[in-house]
Structure 1
Amino acid sequence: MDFTSPEGEQKYAALVRAAGRAVVGLDFDGTLAPIVDDPEQAHIHPEAADVLVDLAEVVAAVAVITGRPARQALDLGGLEVVGNTIGDHGKELYLFGQYGNERWSSTRRRIISPRPPQGLATFLRDLPRTLRNADAADAWVEDKGLAHAVHTRRMADPDAAYQRLLGPLRELADRNGLVLEPGRQVIEVRAPGMDKGRAVETLVAELDAGAFLFAGDDLGDVEAFDAVTALAKDGLPTLLVCSASDEVSALAERADVVVHGPEGVLDLLRRLTADARSS
């Protein structure tokens, strides 16, 4: 792991001292699970469950904050089993799916979800024509229930297709009162009013968090970085972690610590657990 500045090392030390009141928020894809061509095969890193259980013993709570539907993240991450084990230690695992629109916890064990947003039906009606006009009819469209994601990763030239689609999809989303969320060779369209930053704020308020670590890898995590930055300005110990890759490291310049992919994230969490136990 690489601290981006001496201040980053100081922030890590302050987080260790406040670990007992800290909430650790983690993105799923690219942070806990490797990025793969088929998102339905993006299983959590095989060592992540044990790392999260150990981590939960020394912090106030662990939360997964993802753009995925909550049920999908639970299944791909085996998070219900992880939550059971964390519960055995008197702690709780939280899951915020679809950027916070869906909620689950290892205590309540029920996914709370709103209705699909207005405008989504019209967006879907016009989507095939938009894809054809952008010479991207072969893009894979993922139905997330409350959102739809257009993936270009499987196309012959995924980056070029992504760039062709970004403008037209943004225009179509705006026309239907929806918001566009760019990611790694994926463009998601969903309801406005919720993002990962609000999920961070909700956790801090509900748990009376005394510190916050957030780890993410892509543009969908920017709002969470913004929220944690605001917490730091209010005097809370915080740490921003970028899970970088050879493909993208959009958050590296804003992070206190840069690690390489899910393995790097897990190494950092192991270190945090060990340092908190010995402090």
Structure 2
Amino acid sequence: MTPPRGSGDGSGDRYDALVAVADEVLVGLDFDGTLSPIVEDPSRAVIHPDGPRVLRDLAACVRAVVVITGRPARQVVELGGLDAVADSLAAGSRLVVMGQYGNEHWDSGSREFRSPEPPPGLQAFRDELPALLAAQDAEGAFVEEKGLAVAVHTRRLPDAAAAYARLEAALGEAVERHGLGLEPGRMVLEVRAPGMHKGLAVHAALEEHRAGAVLFAGDDLGDLEAFEAVRGLRDQGLPTLLVCSGSEEQEALAALSDVVVDGPAGVLGLLARFVEDVRSAQEG
């Protein structure tokens, strides 16, 4: 099959290089906007219908499939139906979730969840948040509790972009007082512990699985550190491919990507093609 062509030079060659070393490839995937559509209610952001089948087939031909997400790991396992996917995996296949930007861990072998204690200052921020929202005329913002983080979604507000801009400044001041970090996203601002991000999670996953190549797909600013980490690994000589799940809301990753596809359906279509090409190469 013809390899994908994207926004970056040499994308086809990079794709072909990963096909050739598939058993060494770590596939890192964001969840929201990459495996599941962006919706107003985050609790309803279930995986795309093609997701379970593609993840099962993909895990059978690469070193590991790792979902690296800002969501709690337990939420992603539920919304992705990943327990059922784990039941269907071929022997030796590995499916992992690194939740809360890498702070949490679940894998298809043990089915156990590992999570640290919430960061200092988070409860004090929670207590202050209603007054902060009221001061910015954003009482209707949807507040998502994530255990190790709090996410404030402006998508439901009448002027979501303007409310987002007001809250970004106000929440930035609050998180600094409480020793926390602020993660901007697609009409969402997430307050969490500083010091961990998806770039560090990529390096941790690479070491854990002793992978020699990386494909990473994401859609939002929270994936920026992962993209930068993968580009650094490319500079060190590792075969890599960066895939952007494109949208009208966020274009920051497109210029850094080798391939830009149309949302979760496009990501899963590319991964399904990758599986087919790996199988064809093995049979040939």
TM-score interval w.r.t. the shorter chain? over 0.9
CA distance in 2, matches of 1:80, 1:195: 25
1:151-190 aligned within 5 A = 151-190=153-192
Structure 1 letter corresponding to 2:122: L
The alignment partner of 1:24 has SS state of strand
Corresponding pairs, count: 278
CA distance in 1, matches of 2:142, 2:152: 6
Task: Return the match for 2:104 from 85, 102, 105.
Answer: 102
Mark the CA change 1:147 to 1:5 in structure 2 (over 3 Å): closer, same or farther: closer
- The residue number in structure 2 matching 1:114 is 116
1:214-229 aligned within 5 A = 214-229=216-231
Report deviation, 1:247. 2.4
- The residue number in structure 1 matching 2:18 is 15
Q: Deviations over 1:161-198 (max 9, x none)?
A: 10110011011011111000000100000001111111
Structure 1 letter corresponding to 2:24: R
CA distance in 2, matches of 1:148, 1:6: 38
Structure 2 letter corresponding to 1:23: L
CA distance in 1, matches of 2:6, 2:278: 18
1:1-279 aligned within 5 A = 2-86=5-89, 88-279=90-281
Q: Deviations over 1:220-273 (max 9, x none)?
A: 000111111111111110000000012222200000000000010011001111
Structure 2 letter corresponding to 1:73: V
Report deviation, 1:84. 2.1
Backbone CA RMSD of aligned residues: 1.0
CA distance in 2, matches of 1:149, 1:121: 13
CA distance in 1, matches of 2:47, 2:256: 25
Instruction: Decide whether the 8 Å contact of 2:102 with 2:197 is kept in 1.
Output: yes
Report deviation, 1:140. 1.2
The alignment partner of 1:23 has SS state of strand
Report deviation, 1:110. 0.8
Structure 1 letter corresponding to 2:52: A
Instruction: Decide whether the 8 Å contact of 1:243 with 1:249 is kept in 2.
Output: no
TM value normalised by structure 2: 0.96
TM value normalised by structure 1: 0.97
Mark the CA change 1:63 to 1:105 in structure 2 (over 3 Å): closer, same or farther: same
Question: Structure 1: which 5+ runs fail to align?
Answer: none
Identity, % of aligned pairs?
56
Q: Which moved more, 1:240-249 or 1:205-214?
A: 240-249
Report deviation, 1:19. 0.9
Report deviation, 1:2. 4.3
Question: Structure 2: which 5+ runs fail to align?
Answer: none
Mark the CA change 1:157 to 1:2 in structure 2 (over 3 Å): closer, same or farther: farther
The alignment partner of 2:143 has SS state of strand
The alignment partner of 2:182 has SS state of strand
CA distance in 1, matches of 2:8, 2:103: 35
CA distance in 2, matches of 1:30, 1:43: 11
Q: Deviations over 1:45-89 (max 9, x none)?
A: 011110111111211111111111111111110011112222x33
Report deviation, 1:16. 1.1
